[in-house]
């Protein structure tokens, strides 16, 4: 979550054959995958002329769990968006058909292009959704999401996952929110995916929040994940892969986190 001047956003991606901030390459591959998987693209807004896209399944969700994954809220955390692509490339049809999965693949496109945490106007696209921690209001991206609040809340009624990174750290952790007193299978499943690849953050504080066994539990701030929880999502999480580790490992971890999110009962 904290800003890091030594950004890794321009790292060359081995499997993808481009820079991690290559927005054109990213968008082209995403559109191709979305078409192949039968996802519908909607435009929530165009901050700075860049598209903030929401992808939803063509099929009626019926009684299937409604899940939403967001990534690229901070532009210097590239493994989330690229991990989402890797998840889509590998996703087996049965797993996808078992739920109704919607996607906000790159919320902060100007930050992604520039390799910066904040958007082009210095706003934080993961703050200001609720009037907590002194936040003045939403970013341009946040305002676009809030303008479609009823739609996105319906898409995330059974769960919301935001794929973040902590550029300053070499260990991983997760913020999770559940309607219970202690972390349940949802939180633990995400932590376990991280633990397979990275050291887990030691118990203590991270960004001023108490972390135990790699989990910051039921922390309510003005973030997008807290907004979903406040407005009725059954559960929500913000995962943090360590920006100081190799980017390919981080991309793999993010693909695995989305797989675990989709499979978790």
In whole angstroms, what is the distance from residue 176 CA to residue 194 CA? Answer: 13
In this chain, which residue has its C-beta nearest to Ni ion? 164
Looking at the Cβ atoms of 21 and 100, the one nearer to Ni ion is 21
Closest by CA position to 1, among listed 173, 197, 250: 173
Q: How far is the CB of 208 from Ni ion (least distance, A)?
A: 15
Q: How far is the CB of 238 from Ni ion (least distance, A)?
A: 7
Looking at the Cβ atoms of 100 and 108, the one nearer to Ni ion is 108
Looking at the Cβ atoms of 96 and 161, the one nearer to Ni ion is 161
Strand runs (DSSP E) across 134-180, as ranges?
159-166, 173-178
Looking at the Cβ atoms of 1 and 234, the one nearer to Ni ion is 1
Looking at the Cβ atoms of 33 and 145, the one nearer to Ni ion is 145
Helix (H, G, I), strand (E, B) or coil at 124: coil
Question: 251 and 83 in contact (C-beta within 8 Å)?
Answer: yes
Q: How far is the CB of 63 from Ni ion (least distance, A)?
A: 33
Q: Residue numbers of the site for Ni ion (CB under 5 A)? A: 1, 74, 77, 164
Closest by CA position to 73, among listed 21, 46, 111, 19: 111
Dihedral, 238, 234, 197, 208 alpha carbons, nearest 10: 40
Q: How far is the CB of 35 from Ni ion (least distance, A)?
A: 29
Q: How far is the CB of 130 from Ni ion (least distance, A)?
A: 17
Q: How far is the CB of 241 from Ni ion (least distance, A)?
A: 10
Helices in the chain by DSSP H: which ranges? 23-37, 79-90, 93-97, 109-114, 140-146, 149-155, 185-195, 224-230, 247-263
Looking at the Cβ atoms of 66 and 113, the one nearer to Ni ion is 113
């Amino acid at each position: 979550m904290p800003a890091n001047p030594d950004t890794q956003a321009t790292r060359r991606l081995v499997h993808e054959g481009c820079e991690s901030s290559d927005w054109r390459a990213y968008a082209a591959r995403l559109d191709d995958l979305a078409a192949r998987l039968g996802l519908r693209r909607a435009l929530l807004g165009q901050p700075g002329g860049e598209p903030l896209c929401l992808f939803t399944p063509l099929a009626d969700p019926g009684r299937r769990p409604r899940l939403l994954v967001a990534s690229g809220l901070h532009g210097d955390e590239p493994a989330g968006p690229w991990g989402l692509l890797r998840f889509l490339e590998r996703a087996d049809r049965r797993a996808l058909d078992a739920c109704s999965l919607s996607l906000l693949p790159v919320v902060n496109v100007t930050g992604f292009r520039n390799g910066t945490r904040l958007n082009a106007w210095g706003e934080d696209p993961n703050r200001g959704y609720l009037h907590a921690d002194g936040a003045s209001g939403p970013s341009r991206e946040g305002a676009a999401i809030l303008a479609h609040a009823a739609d996105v809340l319906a898409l995330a009624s059974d769960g919301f996952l935001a794929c973040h990174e902590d550029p300053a750290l070499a260990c991983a952790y997760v913020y999770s929110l559940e309607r219970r007193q202690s972390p349940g299978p949802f939180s633990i499943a995400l932590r376990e995916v991280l633990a397979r690849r990275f050291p887990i953050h030691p118990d203590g504080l991270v960004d001023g929040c108490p972390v135990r066994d790699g989990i910051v539990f039921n922390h309510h701030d003005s973030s997008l994940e807290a907004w979903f929880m406040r407005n009725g999502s059954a559960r929500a999480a913000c995962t943090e892969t360590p920006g100081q580790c190799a980017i390919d490992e981080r991309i793999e971890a993010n693909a695995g986190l989305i797989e675990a999110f989709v499979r978790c009962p």
